[in-house]
Structure 1
Amino acid sequence: MAGNTKLNLWFGIVGFVITFLVSFGNNLWTTSLFRGILGFVVWFLLAFVLRFILGILANPAGAVPKMPTGDDVPTQQELSQDDQDRGSRFDVVTPDQDNELHDLLTPKPADSGPKDEFAPLNPPKLVSTKQQDPEELAKAVRHLTQK
Structure 2
Amino acid sequence: MWTTSLVRGCLGFILWFALAFLLRFILGVLATPGNNAGKPPASGAVQGIQEDEGQPLNDEPGRGNLLDITTPDQDNELNDLLTPKPSHSDGDNGFAPLNPPKLVSTKEQDPEELAKALRHLTQK
TM over 0.5: no
The structure carrying a bigger helix percent of its residues is 1
The structure whose RCO (Cα within 8 Å, separation 6+) is larger is 1
